[in-house]
Amino acid sequence: MAGPSSYMFVAAILFLIGAVGVVVRRDLIVILMAVEIMLNAVNLQFLAFARQLGQSEGQVFVFMVMVVAAAEAAIGLAFVLLLYRTRKTINVDNINLMQG
Amino acid sequence: MDFRVGLVAVEVALSLLALLFILLGAWQRPNTSPTGAWAVAVLALIALGGFSLSSSGIDGVARSFYGLVVSDRLGAFLGLFSLISGLLVLFMSPAYLSREGIHKAEYYGLVFLSLVGGFFMFKAASLLTLFLGLEVLSMPLYVLCGLKRNFGKSPEAGLKYFYLGAFFSAVMLYGISFLYGALGTVNLEGLAALAISSNRHGLMCAFGLALLLCGLAFKAGLAPFHAWVPDVYEGAPTTITAFMATFVKVAAFGALIRILFSLPPDILPVLKPFGWLVAVLTMFAGNLGALYQTNIKRLLAFSSIAHAGYLLVGLLSFNALGQQGVLYYLLAYTFMNVGAFAVVIAFGQRGEENVTLDDLRGMGLRHPFLGVAMALFILSMIGIPPTAGFVGKYYLFAAALSAGMPVLAVIGVLNSVISLGYYLRVLVALFMMPEARAVIIPPKGFGAKVAVAACAVLVLWFGCFVSSPIAAFQGAFSQSMLQPGTIARLP
């Protein structure tokens, strides 16, 4: 059986894909998907460690992360919809009413 | 290790009331102010505040929720600060909401839910509780920030806050997963086994802790994760800006205290240089950024970044003086910031008009009550006696001196001098400039005036009568954790 290191490696790659996606992509829905990929990387890592340690604490954490991810998706999509209705665009480059 | 619902009575009451308000919103007639919901919310917060105040005298540490929540004096005090912040915000809400055309009972439900999240953040005994508390605190706030749907900046603020918040909670979770892998537990006691070294375990610990602290630094608005603060504070409804500026800071710093004081003492020399750098960066970012602002909400947002830097100075000193200072400053900061935002609301007009420095010209003389109160809050933010801000800042910088960090204290004082540059501009605009407009629209909002008066009295009160709160705050830490690492040895 593969040890936790290989799972950590896969999780790290997934997390990086997600993080780069958040920074690089311009479409709000794709950015939301990238955040979900990051959360899934975290879930994978939690499960790998829980399995290695023979505990259920990490698995419980994964359920909580899934609940939070679902709530986040609900709020995020509501915001995207609201923005699309008022501005007819969901590109981050057009969200610039406030400049510091 | 059992449920012990009595220890989380405040949280349970807040959650039930939040659900009730959201339900009320469904039956509410359109375009009527939810006066009943407001009255219930205010009475509930007063009752819960009294309950928290009476339970803040208890000694010792108790666990509830099967060991996931810790109840001690620190938690009781921070809870009290949160309830005070919530109550003051509720007082100024109805006038503002009806002016901006937001007639929603859900508003109060979301504020209450956010309060619940904050409570679980600074009463966390486990990283699971801390994470869930952070999310329960954040999600209602995202919605509240975007509540003014027809005002372009408000949804934009909510959206920015939401996306950055989601990103940083993923980063924080990734850190927690490393800590879990290295320590085999997500309990805060488990952090006492944390060791940073060059082997696999040590690297996982270091990486996990760094990411976890990044997530909390984002919530607290510490540099270099502060860029969202001005935009979100400017776009959000002003009542929610006041709520975020005070309550979220209390919750984020409460969580930081919980984590930092669970760490083993030999980690602190490694952490301190980073904390030092973050504190200095935060103070300069806030104060230098504020110098160029003309919108008063943005100016106060930058000033809140600077205040987070001052708080970090006290936290980093890791001595009794610093701990008292942090609590005192959080309380003082709540009063002066909510007060300042309440004045902004009272002067403001529908659609976020009248919130630039030019609009405020001459208003101090035209409306002396609001003008003098604003001057008092500004003086308190600068740190001039006899205000609460002076006492808080004195304790924070004295703590840094006694902890052997004189350079940090000097940089802090230097930053206070820089902050004069923009704080005085507000005072000059209020009192020494000719009025800008031919037609003066009188400030409205009785509730906002009550909040202003209460904050002004309290800023002066806590500036003059220092000894009893300081003694109480001394107890807050000595009961639960006087030295870093001691919390692990408590039952």
pLDDT-above-70 percentage for chain B: 93
Q: Is A70 on the interface with B (CB under 8 A)?
A: no
Q: How many domains does chain B have?
A: 1
Q: Which residues of chain B neighbour A93 with C-beta distances below 8 Å?
A: none
Interface list for A 6-35 with B (CB within 8 A): 8, 11, 15, 18-19, 22, 28, 31-32, 35
Task: Report yes or no: B427 and B367 within 8 Å, Cβ to Cβ.
Answer: no
Count the neighbouring beta carbons within 10 Å of the beta carbon of residue A92. Answer: 15
3-state SS of B46-60 is HHHHHHHHHHCCCCC
Of B42-46, B92-96, B466-470, which range is least confident?
B466-470
pLDDT at B151: 77
Binned at pLDDT 50, 70 and 90, residue B20 comes out as very high
Place of tokens 């879990």: B180
Place of tokens 């109480």: B472
Q: Is A68 on the interface with B (CB under 8 A)?
A: yes
Q: Which residues of chain A neighbour B298 with C-beta distances below 8 Å?
A: 100
Chain mean pLDDT for chain B: 88
pLDDT-above-90 percentage for chain B: 60
**DSSP notation for B224-267:** TS-THHHHHHHHS-HHHHHHIIIIIHHHHHHHHHHHHTTS-GGG
Interface test with A, best of B147, B171, B174 (most A CBs within 10 A): B174
pLDDT at B484: 44
pLDDT-above-90 percentage for chain A: 71
pLDDT at B149: 82
B69 forms beta bridges with B64, B124
What is the average per-residue pLDDT within A62-91? 92
**ipTM, 2 decimals?**
0.96
Helix (H) or strand (E) holding B8: none
Binned at pLDDT 50, 70 and 90, residue A99 comes out as low
Please name each of the domains of chain A with its CATH number.
4-94 (1.10.287.3510)
Number of CB pairs, chain A paired with chain B, less than 8 A apart: 114
Measured between CA atoms, the residue of chain A closest to residue B143 is: A75
Measured between CA atoms, the residue of chain B closest to residue A4 is: B181
pLDDT at B99: 84
Is 80 exceeded by the pLDDT of residue A1?
no
- CA distance to partner chain A, nearest, from residue B264 (Å): 23
Is 90 exceeded by the pLDDT of residue B364?
no
Nearest by CB: A46 against B139, B180, B298: B180
Is 50 exceeded by the pLDDT of residue B57?
yes
How far apart CA B353 and CA A67 sit, in angstroms, is 40
Give, to the nearest 10 degrees, the angle between helix B249-260 and helix B200-220. Answer: 160
- CA distance to partner chain A, nearest, from residue B379 (Å): 25
Q: Which residues of chain B neighbour A22 with C-beta distances below 8 Å?
A: 163, 167
Task: Identify the CA nearest to A38 among candidates A25, A20, A52, A63.
Answer: A20
How far apart CA B130 and CA B149 sit, in angstroms, is 31
pLDDT at B440: 58
What is the average per-residue pLDDT within B331-341? 95
Cis? peptide before B140, omega within 30° of 0: no
Helix (H) or strand (E) holding B209: helix B200-220
List helix spans (H) across B247-387.
249-260, 268-290, 296-316, 320-347, 363-366, 368-382
How far apart CA B276 and CA B273 sit, in angstroms, is 5
What is the average per-residue pLDDT within B310-330? 91
pLDDT in tens, B66-105: 888 988 888 889 999 999 999 999 999 988 888 888 888 8
Question: Could you tell me whether strands B69-71 and B62-64 are parallel, antiparallel, or unpaired per DSSP bridges?
Answer: antiparallel
How far apart CA B197 and CA B182 sit, in angstroms, is 12
Is 80 exceeded by the pLDDT of residue A83?
yes
B263-268 long-range Cβ contacts below 8 angstroms, 24+ apart: B263/B191, B263/B192, B263/B194, B263/B209, B263/B484, B263/B485, B264/B191, B264/B192, B264/B193, B264/B194, B264/B195, B264/B484, B264/B485, B265/B483, B265/B484, B265/B485, B266/B195, B267/B194, B267/B195, B267/B196, B267/B209, B268/B318, B268/B484
Q: Are B227 and A100 within 8 A, CB to CB? A: yes
Q: Which residues of chain B neighbour A48 with C-beta distances below 8 Å?
A: 181
How far apart CA B153 and CA B122 sit, in angstroms, is 31
pLDDT at B367: 87
What is the average per-residue pLDDT within B245-249? 95
Binned at pLDDT 50, 70 and 90, residue B447 comes out as confident
Is 90 exceeded by the pLDDT of residue A47?
yes
Which structural domain range is residue B380 located in? 5-489
User: B63: which 2 tokens?
Assistant: 């666990």
Give, to the nearest 10 degrees, the angle between helix B153-183 and helix B228-235. Answer: 140
More confident residue, B17 or B265: B17
Whether pTM > 0.90 for this model: the answer is yes
Q: Are A35 and B163 within 8 A, CB to CB? A: yes
Q: Give me the sign of the Cα torsion angle B170, B172, B178, B179.
A: negative
Task: Identify the CA nearest to B450 among candidates B89, B43, B44, B105.
Answer: B89
Task: Report yes or no: B74 and B480 within 8 Å, Cβ to Cβ.
Answer: yes
pLDDT at B491: 32
Q: Are B174 and A72 within 8 A, CB to CB? A: no
pLDDT at A2: 61
Task: Identify the CA nearest to A68 among candidates B16, B122, B173.
Answer: B173
- Ramachandran area for residue B63 (φ above 0: left; ψ -120 to 50: alpha; else beta): beta
Interface test with B, best of A9, A72, A82 (most B CBs within 10 A): A72
Task: Identify the CA nearest to B332 among candidates B384, B400, B275, B409.
Answer: B384
What is the average per-residue pLDDT within B149-173? 91
Nearest by CB: A79 against B162, B167, B230: B162
Q: Which residues of chain A neighbour B214 with C-beta distances below 8 Å?
A: none
Task: Report yes or no: B289 and B305 within 8 Å, Cβ to Cβ.
Answer: yes
Alpha-carbon radius of gyration of chain A: 17
What is the average per-residue pLDDT within A47-53? 93
How far apart CA B121 and CA B123 sit, in angstroms, is 6
**DSSP notation for B385-440:** TTSHHHHHHHHHHHHHHHTT-HHHHHHHHHHHHHHHHHHHHHHHHHHSS--S-SSP
Q: Give me the sign of the Cα torsion angle B411, B216, B338, B461.
A: negative
